[in-house]
Structure 1
Amino acid sequence: MLVCLLPVPCVLGNLRPPRITALPGSTVPWKGHVTLLCQGPGQAEGYKIAKVGSPEPTDKEEQIMPRKTNTLSVAEITTDKTGLYHCSYQRGGRWSQFSDPLQLVMTGAYEKPSLSSLAGTVVAPGENVKLQCFSKINYDVFILTKEGEDHITQNQSSMPQDRGRQTIFLLNPVSSTQAGTYRCYGAFRENPYLWSQPSDPLQLQVEGTTESPSSTQPICSTAPSGDLASRGRLLGIWIGVPVAVGLLLLVFLIFLILYCLRKAKSNAARKERQPEAAGRANGQVSEAADPQEVTYSQVTCHVPHQGTAGAPSRVPRQTQSSEYVTLAFR
């Protein structure tokens, strides 16, 4: 039997707690922007996002002023805004249980430590990997994070080492899912949500994976090495054949041009020698003579007479005869 007594709201059963997340992430650089998101059911009537340990509003305030949006925007992160946050939602006149707490951290407060892998950055599956985080600053704790994951991978106390502090993070045994980009931070116990600058990134690769997986990047399938090699050879053939044909055509054109030039020079030399030979054969005959030209030559015949050359002859002289011979040169 269900009994509801006013003004106490009617309880229809326990409401599932929501989930709180931070966009773009819960590790925020100094003066960075962050938005807290409370994910509840679609029938939620209001939301509440607050720091853990902050004063709780009264039931009257909750009923009169429920938060209509499920986000809380922090324009500029500062030290006083770091800490643990949780959220709840209102439905049917009742507030749900709080979500699991979200740690909101500000980075960049101190100098960065260094991160290295004692076994190298390329390891075999199943191998025990040790990541060393070291700093000359006496940090109380070191924090290890992996890129693409919105939570702390490991958090350990530091130990003295070579006039500084260090800690060893163990990844035992390592698998392909642990390949990726790692960074470490230093912090003090009195301000656990105020971290140093991040270390330089360390790229850990597990043998058998071509690239380190990251949730911030799409996962693309890669072709086997044999297929890549065959594709490379085929591509080389497709590129090499046109290049070879082009070179052959170029060589052929060069040869053809040289041949034509040599032939032209030979013809010119032959033409220069022919007029000289013709001049020697014909004597004084002009090269420009017309083969159809007709030449007339006069031939005069004289009949000799006896007697004195000086005495006049009483016999009348015979008339000189002239004949014309037509000479035609062809």
Structure 2
Amino acid sequence: MSMVPPSLLCLGLCLSQSTWAQKGNLPPPRITALPGSTVPAKSHVTLLCQGPKQAEGYRISRVGSPEPMDKEEQITSRKTNALSIAEMTSGKTGLYHCSYQRGGRWSQFSDPLQLVMTGAYDKPSLSSMAGTVVSPGEKVKLQCVSKINHDVFILTKEDGDHVTQNQSSVPHDGGRQTIFLLNPVSSTQAGTFRCYGAFRDNPYVWSQPSDPLQLQVEAPTAWHPSVETQVRLSLAALLLLVMVVLLAEAWCSQGGPSVKSDEPPPQWTDKRR
């Protein structure tokens, strides 16, 4: 097998990277929201597009929109571009992505960021049908209920940005409900949960969050009897010992079990012979 000269190998790699860049296949940046992507109505939020140090400019746009929301602000020489939304409204919700410019070319789009506005409807209620302290491996059902006829309910964990489940609702007592299943539950699922209600025709506008539900996942503790229980167990053991002694004495006083001999009975001999 012939060896490829290092110079040709380097040339090949350079041409490959150049071709990759010319096709616009620069690695995608990362888009985040501060303080979070689940934003109360009329609150402030900032979108950040983070790319490599060599980036020459950035732009942020809503998925489905061909142009950036603000060209002058989006295409800049800053390494990390920020889009500031002073007051969150339903018209600014949706999926956002961003890209960066390098060498006159634009990178791939980042993964989409779901920007949600909360507080549009009254809050639902969230409860655990197995209690708030459960054991690992247990089947846990979280029930989200609302008097409003929401099409879907969303379960989030901790800071409200981590969507755990999104499920359709069913009728319940004049309103709607859904059951979120955690099966089997593990220690990593412990934390603070909330649920929201929404409608399919406006999926990024949610209700107020439910009151927080703190779920604890704890292994069963070893059984430690109380002092009173220990005394009772000791008395029971002593009584059992006394009964055994009495039974043994009664058995011995009766001579114990009869012993049967396997030897044949003695034979009588005639002494007159």
Calculate the TM-score normalised by the size of structure 1: 0.57
Name the Cα RMSD after superposition.
2.2
What amino acid is aligned across from residue 75 of structure 2 in structure 1?
P
What amino acid is aligned across from residue 40 of structure 1 in structure 2?
G
1:91 maps to what in 2? 102
Once residues 182 and 30 of structure 1 are traced to their aligned partners in structure 2, the CA distance between those partners, rounded to angstroms, is 20
Report the CA distance between 1:91 and its aligned residue.
Answer: 1.1
Indicate how the Cα distance of structure 1 residues 179 and 91 shifts in structure 2: closer, same or farther if over 3 A, else same. Answer: same
Pairing 1:260-299 to 2, within 5 Å after superposition: none
3-state SS of the aligned residue for 1:25?
A: coil
Once residues 107 and 84 of structure 2 are traced to their aligned partners in structure 1, the CA distance between those partners, rounded to angstroms, is 22
2:121 maps to what in 1? 110
Once residues 162 and 99 of structure 2 are traced to their aligned partners in structure 1, the CA distance between those partners, rounded to angstroms, is 21
Indicate how the Cα distance of structure 1 residues 110 and 173 shifts in structure 2: closer, same or farther if over 3 A, else same. Answer: same
Once residues 199 and 88 of structure 1 are traced to their aligned partners in structure 2, the CA distance between those partners, rounded to angstroms, is 35
Report the CA distance between 1:163 and its aligned residue.
Answer: 1.5
2:243 maps to what in 1? none
Once residues 13 and 142 of structure 1 are traced to their aligned partners in structure 2, the CA distance between those partners, rounded to angstroms, is 39
Calculate the TM-score normalised by the size of structure 2: 0.68
Q: Would you say 1:38 and 2:49 are equivalent positions? A: yes
- Alignment counterpart, residue 36 of structure 2, candidates 22, 25, 30: 25
Moved over 2 A (4+): 65-69, 148-151
- Alignment counterpart, residue 150 of structure 1, candidates 161, 178, 191: 161
Which runs of 5 or more structure 2 residues have no equivalent in the other structure? 1-11, 221-273
What amino acid is aligned across from residue 193 of structure 1 in structure 2?
Y
1:226 maps to what in 2? none
Decide whether the 8 Å contact of 2:136 with 2:187 is kept in 1.
Answer: yes
Report the CA distance between 1:150 and its aligned residue.
Answer: 2.8
Higher radius of gyration, 1 or 2? 1
Q: Deviations over 1:189-211 (max 9, x none)?
A: 111111000000000001149xx
Give the count of matched residue pairs. Answer: 198
Once residues 148 and 198 of structure 1 are traced to their aligned partners in structure 2, the CA distance between those partners, rounded to angstroms, is 11
1:66 maps to what in 2? 75
Pairing 1:231-246 to 2, within 5 Å after superposition: none
1:191 maps to what in 2? 202
Q: Would you say 1:82 and 2:83 are equivalent positions? A: no
Which runs of 5 or more structure 1 residues have no equivalent in the other structure? 4-9, 210-330
Once residues 195 and 95 of structure 1 are traced to their aligned partners in structure 2, the CA distance between those partners, rounded to angstroms, is 34
3-state SS of the aligned residue for 1:191?
A: coil
Report the CA distance between 1:56 and its aligned residue.
Answer: 3.0
Q: Would you say 1:161 and 2:172 are equivalent positions? A: yes
3-state SS of the aligned residue for 1:85?
A: strand
What amino acid is aligned across from residue 95 of structure 2 in structure 1?
L
